[in-house]
Amino acid sequence: MSAFTSALRIALAALTRSKGRSLLTGLGILIGIAAVVVVTALGTGARERVGSQIESLGSNLLFVFGQGSQRSGVRIRAGSNFGLSEEDAEAIRREASAVNKVAVYAEVKPQVSSEYGNAKIAVVGIDRDYFDVRNYRIAEGRAFTANEERFKSKVCLIGLTAQQKLFGNSDPIGRYVRIGKYPFRVIGTLESKGQSQFEDQDDRIIMPIGSWRARVVPTLGNRVQLIMVTAKSAAHIPEAERQIDAILRQLHDIADGDPADFQVRTQDEFRKSQEAILGILTALFMAVAGIALLVGGVGVMNIMLVSVTERTREIGIRMAIGAKRRDIQLQFLIEAVLLTLFGGLSGIAVAVGVIAVLTHTLEWTMRLSFEAVTAAIAMSLAVGTVFGFLPAQRAAALDPIEALRHE
């Protein structure tokens, strides 16, 4: 241990003797480590966000999409994704035992106007189970009544973003929005769901599916884009998935094994596909950051090799007065590791700053984890050891007589 502490002291003295060079060499590592830490924080933040978004959809959720493909050889509404119908939803509700609630969903994005202004806003037709399935809550006002659904009343609920676009800060309840030629009375506001991966979930107006069909898009018959289903419990999800598949195949007249014209996705699959995309992105950025770190490491090796050559005489003196090969090797290895550790710690500090700035100015979700910091420190140590090894080896292998003769 004494050999180590004395080598540490010697290395520190050598580094402080050439401060400018040490700083510049450390800079390479600083950049690499800072890049790694920032990218990791970005990845961790994004993953957490995806997780909470998918959580916010509701629980034990399954999605059924139309595939917009062929049915009995006839292409149905090419390019449309309205491949399912209310009968499909009805059949699932009736026959699937593992299923709790079933909700239909249809959306268009027309121009919507109010007395204050107008904007393109998603207008969504749903049935009342949608509130339970999606965990939607009314912020103010009330939900639709059964009678309003039955009579296709011109009423709607409005999300926070749509509300700001159409009404600014004034209370929208009791006022009207106009979609096409019909005015709809706002009976309530929706609790905020926040930004999803692709869209603002609060930039929408929702209304009973009957009203939607009668007044907004009268040309779609009983077709819907999406059926959302909740399983009775998390354990029932696979069973529910199987049942839905069987019911829809029968209804659509598709044999087992043939490609279906619909797709059943669970929340877990959503999460997995999102995480896969994130994983690829993170890996890509990590590779770039890794290359930066590698370049920094090569810089350290370069400087250490120069340093060994410059200090050949010093090495000779040390050997003459009793330094063993291990002492010399340790001294240069510690110098390299101190350089990278210093660079790494400054890199972490810089990364913390960058993360703080990005979080505040661009409102990116970033999370600096304890693991990432630990890994960054470990990485700096590893880079120093790996890239310091060759120069240290070279220093230790010097012949004391030759080294003493070196000018």
Partner 1 sequence: MADLIELQNVSKQYVSGPEVVHALVDLDLRVAIGEFVAIVGASGSGKSTLMNILGCLDRPSRGSYHLAGVDVSNRSADARAIVRNRLIGFVFQGFNLLPRTTALENVELPLIYRGVGARERRRRAIRALTQVGLADRIRHTPTQLSGGQQQRVAIARALVTEPPLLLADEPTGNLDTRTSFEVLALLQSLVRELGLTIALVTHESDVAECAGRVITMRDGRVESDHVQRTPRDAAASLEELAAAPAGTAE
Which positions lie near partner 1, rule CB under 8 A? 2-3, 6, 9-10, 13, 17, 313-314, 316-327, 400-401, 404
Q: How far is the CB of 17 from partner 1 (least distance, A)?
A: 5
Q: How far is the CB of 318 from partner 1 (least distance, A)?
A: 7
The token pair that represents 113 in the structure block: 């106007």
Q: List the one residue out of 265, 255, 181, 250 whose CA is nearest residue 215.
A: 181
Q: How far is the CB of 339 from partner 1 (least distance, A)?
A: 18
User: How would you classify the pairing of strands 204-208 and 122-126?
Assistant: parallel
> What is the DSSP code (8-state) at residue 215?
I
- The residue among 10 and 248 lying less far from partner 1, judged by its C-beta, is 10
Alpha helices in 236-369 (DSSP H): 237-252, 267-310, 312-320, 325-361
CB 26, CB 342: distance < 8 Å: yes
- The residue among 215 and 318 lying less far from partner 1, judged by its C-beta, is 318
Q: List the one residue out of 400, 391, 406, 402 whose CA is nearest residue 332.
A: 391
**At residue 97, what is the residue type?**
S
Q: How far is the CB of 340 from partner 1 (least distance, A)?
A: 23
CB 177, CB 158: distance < 8 Å: yes
- The residue among 14 and 46 lying less far from partner 1, judged by its C-beta, is 14
**C-alpha to C-alpha distances, 155 to 43, 161, 258, 356, nearest whole angstrom:** 42, 18, 42, 44
Q: How far is the CB of 22 from partner 1 (least distance, A)?
A: 14
- The residue among 247 and 338 lying less far from partner 1, judged by its C-beta, is 338
For 294, phi then psi, to 5°, come to: -60, -45
Q: How far is the CB of 18 from partner 1 (least distance, A)?
A: 9
CB 188, CB 128: distance < 8 Å: no
Q: How far is the CB of 297 from partner 1 (least distance, A)?
A: 27
- The residue among 6 and 164 lying less far from partner 1, judged by its C-beta, is 6
Looking at the DSSP assignment, which residues form a beta bridge with residue 74? 71
- The residue among 129 and 335 lying less far from partner 1, judged by its C-beta, is 335
Q: List the one residue out of 150, 269, 267 whose CA is nearest residue 211.
A: 150
CB atoms within 10 A of CB 181: 6
- The residue among 12 and 287 lying less far from partner 1, judged by its C-beta, is 12
